[in-house]
Structure 1
Amino acid sequence: MEAFDRLPGEISHLVSEFSSIPIFGTLRLGLTQYTFWLIVSSIVLLALVFAYVRRISLVPRGIFANAMEVCINFVADGMGKQIIGATWEKHFPFLATVFFFILVNNVVGVIPGMKPGSGTISTTAAIAVVVFIYFVFVGMRQHGVGGYLKSLAPAGVGFPLNVLVWLIELVSMLLRPITLAIRLFCNMFAGHIVMGSFALMVALFAEPLIQELTVSNALGAVPAFIFAAILFVIYAIEIFVAFVQAYVFTMLTAVYIQGAEAEGH
């Protein structure tokens, strides 16, 4: 029971912010735990990109090079060619950047002791806004400002129904970055909190046994083994979710780009 009593406080600590980091004198830099791991994830992503560029060859060799090739081809074929179509190549760098940025942040967040940079709404909202600006720019470049706005309404719908449909489509378009941001944030934040909660329960129930090996402490630590088994399953699921969320976000980005380039809905 003592372990359960301590759990709320430990979870609050789990979601708390990092203390401000002293820079010089009284100047301090405030970083939340998610911002810190976002920076770490960005450094990891850059390291992966440079490592892959150095290993580029006609025939990829090694597990790392082949794994990167599989991911790159997955984005190119599964989201570029199949969804966007003929113009996929010019959008591929953007799609690949979005996919790998989200994927690395998600995977880093699954590692024990780390946090997903994508587990905060400010990060996911920033990515979603960038996606929104990108596909709107693509649409306006393709059709012109007036032509793109006009293309929101399906062709062949008469007045005044076309005005109503246009307003609905406009609101739908404006909601896209919000739904993108919230979907990714909720999945990664909730998953991290669930994993962290079970990890805390393992530690809290096992702590007395670690401090003193007695029969009563051993019996009291039995729930720790149960929670550890559940935690193992959750980790496997969260690794899968990390890939799925990166795919869903990027896939929807490709759909929005394709829609922006299309002549009409």
Structure 2
Amino acid sequence: MGNPLDSLGEEVNELVSSFTSQPIVGNLDTLGFTQYSFWFAVAVILMLVVLIVFKKKQSQSLVPQGVFVNGVEYIVEFVRDDMCKGLLGDSWKRHFPFIATIFLVVLANNIVGIIPGCKPGTGTISTTAALALCSFVYFIICGIKKHGAFGYAKSLAPAGVMFPLNALVWLIEVFSTILRLVTLAVRLFCNLFAGHVVMGTFAILAALFFEPMIEAFSAMTALQAGASVLWVGILLVIYAVEIIVACVQAYVFALLSAIYIQIAEADEH
């Protein structure tokens, strides 16, 4: 009987390779529909179903009733009060639909990805980059609408700084603004990817230590199977942590988007 850990490296490599985008329809060289595109669509559809059911149940009573209605209302009010009113001031109503949408889309994909057998639509850098690009374009447009194209570009340099230092600061600010696109995409992707690899690794450990007992029962294999209980226990703890991470990452993504909008519309930088 070999050591169950001997095949761990191979299993983990196979696990990591399973996160590579694979086309369900078409191919990646031209036009393809990957498994991440599929689960992204599933998450968005589920989110829309939840919102439609919520709206229907909410309209049935003037006072919110039930855990479901109160729970969804709490999420909406949290986005409104914490991320919109708290940061954007009087302009919060104008930006609330975008911030709420970006938060709910990221949250829905993160949560769906935690369900065993599913993948997060936000589990690939191409998806998170697309979401980050939406946020990037939105706050740039907000800045241009508020200051004009030239005024927004000029506002990136702090007032009162003499030339040529202000030109250097302006270049740094331009680079920092572009870098927001990268950091939004990479932060979300890396947190989800790392979390799912860790969960998958402990699931593999539990299976590797349990399989020998199924193949040939003995005192040693039974002892190894008992060790798999430890791995399952750790997996459940990590699973709970990943649920929290899924919510936190959706919050961070939407919060940073709101902050960037506030910076773009500010009179002084």
**Cα distance change on mapping 1:245 and 1:18 into 2, 3 Å:** closer
1:118 aligned residue: 122
Note if 1:215 corresponds to 2:216. no
For the residue of structure 2 that corresponds to 1:221, the secondary structure is helix
The answer to whether the 8 A contact 1:99-1:247 is kept is yes
Cα displacement string for residues 197-254 of structure 1 (whole angstroms, at most 9, x for unaligned residues): 1011111211233455442321121221111111111011111111111111111100
Q: Which residue of 2 aligns with 1:42?
A: 44
- Separation in 1, partners of 2:127, 2:44: 12
Pick closer, same or farther for the CA change 1:18–1:3 going to 2, 3 Å.
farther
- Note closer, same or farther for the CA distance 1:22–1:74 as it changes in structure 2 (3 Å cut): closer
Normalising to structure 1: TM-score of the pair?
0.91
Indicate if the aligned counterparts of 2:106 and 2:122 stay in contact, CA closer than 8 A: yes
User: % of aligned pairs identical?
Assistant: 53
Equivalences for 1:186-197 in 2 at 5 Å? 186-197=190-201
Letter in 1 for 2:96: F
Q: Which residue of 2 aligns with 1:257?
A: 261
Q: Letter of the 1:4 partner, please give it.
A: L
- 1:184 maps to what in 2? 188
- TM-score, reference length from structure 2: 0.90
- 2: CA distance, partners of 1:85 / 1:30: 42
1:200-211 mapped onto 2 (5 Å cutoff): 200-211=204-215
Q: 2:83 aligns with which of 41, 66, 79?
A: 79
Q: Which residue is 1:134 aligned to?
A: 138
Residues 21/167 of structure 1: CA separation in 2 closer, same or farther (3 Å cut): closer
Contact conserved, 1:153 with 1:264, CA < 8 A, in 2? Answer: no
Deviations 1:44-103 (A, max 9, x none): 112112112212243221111111111111100000011111100110000000101111
Report if aligned partners of 2:125, 2:186 keep a CA contact under 8 Å in 1.
yes
Q: Report the counterpart of residue 6 of structure 1 in structure 2.
A: 7
Letter in 1 for 2:158: P
For the structure 1 residues 85 and 22, does the alpha-carbon distance in structure 2 shift closer, same or farther, using more than 3 Å as the test? closer
Amino acid at match of 1:178: V
- Does structure 2 conserve the Cα–Cα contact (< 8 Å) formed by 1:109 and 1:117? yes
CA contact (8 A) 2:25 2:33 kept: no
Which piece of structure 1 moves more, 41-50 or 146-155? 41-50
- Tell whether the 8 Å contact from 2:21 to 2:124 is kept in structure 1 after alignment: no
User: CA 1:20–1:254 in 2, change beyond 3 Å: closer, same or farther?
Assistant: closer
Deviations along 1:147-187, one digit per CA (max 9) or x if unpaired, are 11111111222222211111111110010010010001100
* RMSD over equivalenced CA pairs, Å: 2.0
* Counterparts of 1:171 and 1:18, CA distance in 2: 30
With over 3 angstroms needed to count, the CA separation of the structure-2 counterparts of 1:211 and 1:35, relative to structure 1, is farther
Residues 122 and 169 of structure 1, relative CA distance in 2, 3 Å threshold: same
Distance (whole Å) between structure 1 residues aligned to residue 231 and residue 35 of structure 2: 25
Distance (whole Å) between structure 2 residues aligned to residue 94 and residue 13 of structure 1: 38
Counterparts of 1:19 and 1:242 in 2: how far apart (Å)?
A: 23
Aligned to 1:106: 110
Q: How many residues align?
A: 261
Q: 2:94 aligns with which of 90, 94, 103?
A: 90
How far apart are 1:4 and its partner, in Å?
A: 2.1
